[in-house]
Amino acid sequence: MDHDVRKSRIIAGILDTSEENEMTCPHCGGDLNITRLRPIEDWSKSFQSYDTIIECSNCFFETRASSCTMTGSVTDFDFKNITISSWCPSGSRVVTKLEHLMDYEELKELKTGNKLVEFLVVDDHVVKLIK
């Protein structure tokens, strides 16, 4: 498995509010501190990412990632990529295609339901639906 994908899955698990291990260290179970730093200036993207640091208060665990949320609807997907129709910070409609780590059945349901939802994006991978 690619290093970026593995790191994105770890971060998605840490930030998953539906699980018991929310905001706990994957190594020692300690409390995590999340610091969102300055915005990452990238005019080629339709969303504003932030440099994010996640570190454990008990052990050596620390990781950095770019992260953001994106509100939009699924217009297309396959086993690797997802296309999301959304709005950029200036208000213009945009279509963004990114790699995803989401469940295929969940994506199928989102596309047929044509709902406006919020996604968590970590290092240019759509990692989960924010509920």
Bridge-based pairing state of the strands 125-130 and 93-100: parallel
pLDDT band at 20 (very low <50, low <70, confident <90, very high): low
Q: What is the dihedral of CA 107, 64, 41, 96, to 10 degrees?
A: -10
- Structure confidence at residue 67 (pLDDT): 87
Structural domains of the chain, count: 1
Find the domain containing 24 and state its range. Answer: 3-130
Q: What is the pLDDT of residues 97-119, one digit of tens each?
A: 999 999 999 999 999 998 899 99
Least confident of 14-28, 77-91, 97-111: 14-28
pTM: 0.79
